[in-house]
Each structure stands twice: as structure tokens, then as C-alpha cells.
Structure 1
Amino acid sequence: MVKETFINIQMKKIIVLGGGWSTEREVSLDSMTQTYKAIKSFHVCTEKKDIKIADDLVSILEEDLENILIFPCLHGKGGGEDGAIQAFLELHKIEYVGSRAKQSSLALDKVKTKKLMDSQGLPVLPQEMYNKKKKPRFKGFNHRLIVKPINEGSSIDTTLIETDEDWENLSVSKKCLVEPYIKGRELTVGVMETGKKIKSLGVIEIKPRKESFYNYKSKYTSGETEYIKKPKNLEISIQTKIKKYALDAHKALGCKSFSRSDFIIDDKNIWYLETNTIPGMTNLSLLPLSAQKAGFGFEKFLMMILSDYE
């Protein structure tokens, strides 16, 4: 079935978008390049396009719009995962891979997403909006805090607060939320959607070698983090529950094609952190690793995703 459907894809031109104007531009360019190379190996007509400013999108309108498929590899706020480019494509009725504009915007907003997940029964950490004058104390948790922007990805500008002095010295230029810091095991799992089937992929453990949590440096510096496809002493029941939560999050947000959800576990609890609608597609990225653990190499994973778009 996948092969038959893919014949139709070969009749289309696939344009992989990357770059954008968010703080995750460089990561996006890497995702675009690696996705482009993989799709090109399918012997289909494909090209990559670096979107530097919003006006760069206009050139897409010069294409044969009925016979192109856009594959966005754009991350973060500002033309990436916030739904802006998706809204442009929808306005011009251009087919594209991945979650729709409304769902993308919702998933990037950590406050709204966590409220939604709480209503769906997923375990979420307590949170407060950042207020310099009021350092929050979360009952039942230790004194350490995490401050993160409401709608950024890749842990950009995410800060660990360990002391009152850290709090006083903190300077933020964006709307941020504050959560208790959990010292535990960080885990992630991808979700793949093809046809009417939605399945969770493999659970990957994320183990920063130097940093206290999985921050930007840990994510995108080679050798800074260990990615464990077979986590030790992680009960099957916990992995099963995390995979279910990832599926629940994907469905609750209304994601399409794929997503990746992040979790952290301590001695007693699993905590949902966030869902990414356009996860990284680099050689250090977690969605390809999660797919690989489930038996799908990067090329096969992309082919199955693309087979949904006739």
C-alpha cells in the first residue's frame, strides 16, 4: 500500500522549507538539509528552500500549486512551529506535511497546552507566570525552579534557578512560566500517523553529560548528551504508560503526521513536559531516533509519512 501510494508522490514536487526567522534558525537549516537529502534519495523531484524573511514564501506561489507538497522543517516561534507559515499555506490552499496552523500554535504555547493536558488526565507540573517580585514556592517540591519562555523550543532561554541570588539576577525579555525543577530521568517518544493509524514509537532516554538539564547546549553540541535507546532499569509498564501519554497528547492537540512528546520521571511520578509538532530532523534529533527504535530508519520513516499525501 505504501509503495502504491508513493507512486503518486513521485508525480509531485516536494519542497523542503528551512531556516525561518526564529531563534532556532540554524537547527532548522540542518533539519532541512538532512530531510532534503533523504527525500532526494527516493528519486522524486525535490528542492530545499531557505526562508529568511516572510516575503521568501511568496516565491512558492510561482509553482504549480496543485502539484507541489511542502515539507516544513521550521522550528520555534516566528515562522516555524507557531502556525504562521502553515496559515500562509492554508490561505493559498497549498498542501503541506504536518500539523495544521491552529494546532501548531496551540502546541507551542506551553501554558495552554499544559492546561489542555491536565484536562485530559495527563500528569503535569504546577506552574505560575513569571513575576520578578514574587518567587513561587510549589508545595511538595524542592526549592529549585525552572524558568522558560511560554512559546520557544529547543530549551532556548530556559534557566535553572537554584538560589535566591539566581532569581534576583535573572533577566527575562519574554513572557515566561515557572515550574518546579525535577531531578530525574528525561524521556521522549515520537508519534507517527499514517492513514487512520496513529502509533507511538520508541522511548528514548536523554542523559546530559555535563548540564543539570537538557538545555540548548546539550541538545545541539555533539557529545554533550547520551541518547539511550534501551534505557536501563526502566520498567516496561512505565514505558507503556509514557507511550500512551504521547499518543493522548498527539490526539488532544490534533497533531498530524508526527509529533514528539517529552517527559521526566522522578522516584514516584511521570510528568508530561511538552509536545513538539515539528521536531528536529538532524543527526542529533530525537524523533528519528525514536522511529529507529521502532524499526523505521529515517528514509523509511519519511516515506511512510509522505505516503499519506497523494
Structure 2
Amino acid sequence: MKKNIAIIMGGYSSEYQISLKSGNVVYQTLDTSKYDAYRIHIFKDKWVYVDGSDAEFPMDKNDFSVTVNNSKITFDCVFNAIHGSPGEDGFMQAYFKLINLPHTSCDMYQAALTFNKRDCLSTLKPYGIKTAESFFVNLGDAIDEDAIVAKVGLPCFVKANKAGSSFGVTKVHNKEDLQNAINVAFKEDDEIIIESFLDGTEVSVGVITYKGETKVLPITEIVSENDFFDYEAKYLGKSQEITPARLTKEEETKVNKIAKKVYEVLKMKGFSRSEYIFKNGEPHLLEVNTVPGLTLASILPQQAAAAGIPLAELFENAIEASLNPPKEGNCCGNKL
């Protein structure tokens, strides 16, 4: 019997358009002989099922069901394609936990932790995970530009702490430009992180739970035409994404080991994509994404293809893993 799969997409953040693209790729790719897929748009002002003619039907938030033509539809599993809030920061994960509905992403705590760049990096440092020097600022704090430069140097990156797709990120070359960059970041979040510039090869590493095991996918090297891997570079063709990355065997082994360690230390499950920059031959972690882009041009699908995993199989694996989770204590994904 076919399973009903709710593909949630949209969200509350600046990433909602990218999420809609990811969700539609999942919708178009799932094996229709195994699954009946439903597009569910999640926005602040509405949660709706969108049918093939783009008609909208309101979701019942009591049990995440929808009624169409007097027929109630419930779901066996949720495929999470929301980048940013509320799909990547733990809110949807907590909701689905409360109503006992399986979903394809990591658990609530892991989502909330990894979405908060400052907390995630701080959690991983005791495990020997190298990161850039950082300086934290909250909305309302006095800005001491001299102290910032003394800590992280120039150039540096000013980032919104809880945002994705390079929204709220500025590379700062001069102290005089710090305040403007901070203002840009505060448009996305009330917390920011200012990091030292790491001059080296940037790579993106996909790690997933595949057939019950932690699997590191082929590494992607990021070569941006812009000053850094910003929104244009990510989504408007202003970069080269080279899979497999042009790394030495030693570099590849190091970053694979660290990426797998990060995934397992955090007790992740489902999809993840983490970003690293090599400095003095050592990979330094930038961030962890738990709902990475799933469009045809996105990095994780490229990596899966290089590993010989077709898109339909990648998505089916995530669904089946959520429907048939390992017994308690046998795998990742519970409490940290």
C-alpha cells in the first residue's frame, strides 16, 4: 500500500523561495508507485496543502491532516524541505514529535543546536573540532570595533547567527565598514557572530544516514567568483562546485573523518551538509546545515550522484529511515 508523504516547504525566513524549489524537486522525484506526495506550504499566515491546480486547502494543526472534498487525508511521514525557520531550527521537529508523526530531518535538539552557529561551534570545540576565531554580539550591545579587530583580525566575516543561504553575511576588509555589516546581519537575527577570515580551500561535505549507516558523500570544492560563497555564488551561478574536490588524499581523509565525527558527536540523522576551510592543512568547521538544498543544482544531490545514489533513492532512503528507525541506543538521533 502506498504511503502518504507530506512535503513541507516554504518557511518563515528569507530562504523560503529556495525551500519551495527544493520541495518541488522532492515532489517531482518521489516514486509514485510507492508514495502519494502532497505539497504542504508552511508560512506564518497559513499552513496549506497545494494541489496540482494550485488550489489551497488549510491544514488542521491538531493532527497535521487536511480535508479535501469532504475526505480527510492523514500522512505516514513528513519530508522536511524547509530551509531556515521553522523547519531547520527545531520548531517543526518538536511539533511532529508531539503528534507522533515521523519526519526525515534530525531531532528537535540537534536542529536547534546546529541552527545556532555560536552554540554549535562552542559544543564541538571540546571534541577537537577546529574553527575560526570568533566574536559574539547581541542586538543592543555596545560595539567595540577595536576589540573585534583585535580578536578576529581583518578581513573578517560578520554573520547573522541563525540564518542560512548567506543571508546577513558580509566580508569586511576595513574597520570603518564593521558597523554597516553588523546592521546588515541584525536585519536577519538579533544575534551575530564575527569570525576571522580563513584563507584556504573551501569544501562542503555531505553526511547522511544511508541504509542504517553514517555515510560521508564525495566532497565538493567551492570556488566562488565573488569575494566569498555568497547568495549569488550559491544560487545564481557565480561559483564552481567541483565534485570530487581537488584535495590530497591526506586532506580528504582528514575532512571525511572530522565530518563523520561531527555528525556522530551531535547524534544526527537524516541529511546534513557541513562547510570547512583548510588552514595550514587542517579543516576548520564553519557551520552545519541539517536541511540542505535539494534542487537539481544543489550540492548534496550533486554529491549523492557522484556516490552513485540517484535522487529518487536518496529521498526514498530518508523516508524509509524515518518510517523504520533503529531501536533506541543503536544509532544516532536521540539526546546529546
> TM-score scaled by structure 1?
0.89
Q: How does 1:35-50 map to 2 (within 5 A)?
A: 35-50=26-41
1:276 aligns with 2:267: no
1:205 corresponds, among 221, 237, 251, to 221
Shift of 1:54: 6.5
Q: What's the secondary structure of 1:230's corresponding residue? A: coil
- 1:68 is aligned to 76
Distance between the aligned counterparts of 1:32 and 1:185, measured in 2? 31
Shift of 1:196: 3.5
Question: Is contact 1:32-1:73 (8 Å) kept?
Answer: yes
Question: Is contact 2:207-2:259 (8 Å) kept?
Answer: yes
Distance between the aligned counterparts of 1:306 and 1:52, measured in 2? 23
1:14 aligns with 2:26: no
2:271 corresponds, among 258, 272, 278, to 258
Q: What's the secondary structure of 1:70's corresponding residue? A: strand
Shift of 1:237: 1.3
Q: How does 1:107-126 map to 2 (within 5 A)?
A: 107-126=114-133
1:226 corresponds, among 240, 249, 274, to 240
Distance between the aligned counterparts of 2:112 and 2:86, measured in 1? 11
Q: Which moved more, 1:28-37 or 1:124-133?
A: 124-133
Question: Is contact 1:19-1:29 (8 Å) kept?
Answer: yes
In the TM superposition, what whole-angstrom CA distance separates every residue of 1:152-210 from its partner, at most 9, and x where no partner exists?
A: 1111110111012211433242310111012222101111213541111110001112x
- 2:200 is aligned to 184
> TM-score scaled by structure 2?
0.82
For 1:275, the aligned partner's letter is: V
- 1:158 is aligned to 169
Shift of 1:31: 0.4
**Higher strand content, 1 or 2:** 2
CA RMSD, aligned part only? 2.0
- Highest relative contact order (Cα 8 Å, sep 6+), 1 or 2? 1
Q: Which moved more, 1:150-159 or 1:47-56?
A: 47-56
Runs of 4 or more, structure 1, over 4 Å off, are 40-43, 62-65
- 1:94 is aligned to 101
Distance between the aligned counterparts of 1:49 and 1:112, measured in 2? 30
Q: Which moved more, 1:13-22 or 1:259-268?
A: 259-268
Q: What's the secondary structure of 1:202's corresponding residue? A: coil
Shift of 1:214: 0.5
Structure 2, unaligned stretches of length 5 or more? 48-58, 67-71, 325-336
Question: Is contact 1:149-1:158 (8 Å) kept?
Answer: yes
Residue 79 to residue 169, structure 1, CA distance change in 2 (3 Å): closer
Distance between the aligned counterparts of 2:150 and 2:33, measured in 1? 52
Question: Is contact 1:32-1:48 (8 Å) kept?
Answer: yes
1:137 corresponds, among 149, 156, 177, to 149
1:298 aligns with 2:289: no
Distance between the aligned counterparts of 1:288 and 1:41, measured in 2? 20
Shift of 1:99: 0.3
Distance between the aligned counterparts of 2:285 and 2:318, measured in 1? 25
Q: Which moved more, 1:244-253 or 1:21-30?
A: 244-253
Q: Which moved more, 1:247-256 or 1:167-176?
A: 167-176
- 1:29 is aligned to 20
Q: What's the secondary structure of 1:93's corresponding residue? A: coil
For 1:215, the aligned partner's letter is: D
Distance between the aligned counterparts of 1:128 and 1:104, measured in 2? 23
The alignment covers a number of residue pairs equal to: 295
Residue 73 to residue 277, structure 1, CA distance change in 2 (3 Å): same
Residue 100 to residue 168, structure 1, CA distance change in 2 (3 Å): closer
Distance between the aligned counterparts of 1:307 and 1:248, measured in 2? 24
